[in-house]
Amino acid sequence: MGLIESVHGGYVHERRIVVLSDWCSKLIPFDSKVLDVGCGDGRLDRLVADKRPDISIRGIDVFQRKDAAMPTQTFDGESIPYAEGSFDIVMFVDVLHHASKPLTLLREAARVARQAILIKDHLVEGLLAHSTLRFMDWVGNARHGVALPYDYWTLAKWHRVLDDLGLNIDVWESNLRLYPFPADLIFGRSLHFFALLRMPGENTIHIQHD
């Protein structure tokens, strides 16, 4: 492992997963049954479950990791192996830009979720956005064998896709502060977002507050 990967794994990743767990804990509604699609090693789910004992959370991934912090079910990366309306919330945390068929996965999430879909992903907006995201993706995922199609969407495309699926935006937050200052000025800025997307026909979702 090179110096960059060592620094990322030993410091950046640790901070990032804590910040992500804080956001998930804040945005998941009370007493929800949650499915995390692309849960990886399960550490994020473990942190969220510890912070939010009122929810139940289950993870699926295309890989089964021996060191997983939570039980994980494998799936084919396209079809979510649960019936319609099986979960209150389906979440994707930095998953859709790795998927070979992200629209298929989003449609599957809309089928399985009763209340909402929670997404953390990227925006390719601003100066050198695509090259910066590629670099971060490579450092964080290449050594783990994660697919890297570098398929990042503009804000306009995100809104177009969500409109086509009939999903309503309850929360859209792009100031996540994933990285310490001044690194966040380069690797944070407007390149990341969290969105809580309400299913058609659902009322406004009440989330946790600080």
What is residue 86's predicted lDDT score, i.e. its pLDDT? 98
73 forms beta bridges with 60
- In the predicted model, what is the mean pLDDT of the chain? 90
> What's the token pair of residue 40?
């990886």
Task: Quote the CA–CA distance of 52 and 72 in Å, as a whole number.
Answer: 19
Q: 41-47 long-range CB contacts below 8 Å, 24 or more apart?
A: 41/65, 41/67, 41/68, 41/69, 42/68, 42/69, 42/70, 42/71, 42/72, 43/17, 43/69, 44/17, 44/20, 44/93, 45/69, 45/70, 46/70, 47/17, 47/18, 47/21
196 forms beta bridges with 118, 171
Are the CB atoms for 118 and 27 separated by under 8 Å? yes
> Within 10 A of 106 (CB to CB), how many other CB atoms are there?
23
Which residue has tokens 């990341």?
192
pLDDT band at 208 (very low <50, low <70, confident <90, very high): low
Q: Domain for residue 207, yes or no?
A: no
What is residue 15's predicted lDDT score, i.e. its pLDDT? 87
Greater confidence (11 vs 99) lies with 99
What is residue 153's predicted lDDT score, i.e. its pLDDT? 97
CATH number for the domain including 67?
Answer: 3.40.50.150
Q: Domain for residue 82, yes or no?
A: yes
Are the CB atoms for 114 and 199 separated by under 8 Å? yes
Q: Domain for residue 58, yes or no?
A: yes
Q: Domain for residue 92, yes or no?
A: yes
pLDDT band at 82 (very low <50, low <70, confident <90, very high): very high
E-strand stretches of 72-180:
72-74, 87-93, 113-122, 168-173
What is residue 207's predicted lDDT score, i.e. its pLDDT? 74
What is residue 5's predicted lDDT score, i.e. its pLDDT? 45
Q: Domain for residue 83, yes or no?
A: yes
What is residue 185's predicted lDDT score, i.e. its pLDDT? 81
What is residue 192's predicted lDDT score, i.e. its pLDDT? 95
Q: Domain for residue 205, yes or no?
A: no
pLDDT band at 43 (very low <50, low <70, confident <90, very high): very high
Greater confidence (44 vs 186) lies with 44
pLDDT band at 187 (very low <50, low <70, confident <90, very high): confident
Q: Domain for residue 204, yes or no?
A: no
Q: What percentage of the chain exceeds 70 in pLDDT?
A: 92
Cross-sheet strand order for the sheet of 56-61: 72-74, 56-61, 33-37, 87-93, 113-122, 192-198, 168-173
Q: Domain for residue 87, yes or no?
A: yes
Domain with 44, as residue range(s), is 3-198
What's the number of domains the chain is made of?
A: 1
pLDDT for residue 189 is more than 80: yes
Q: Is the dihedral of CA 90, 84, 164, 100 positive or negative?
A: positive
Using one digit for the tens of pLDDT, what is the confidence trace for 91-134? 999 999 999 999 999 999 999 999 999 999 999 998 899 999 99
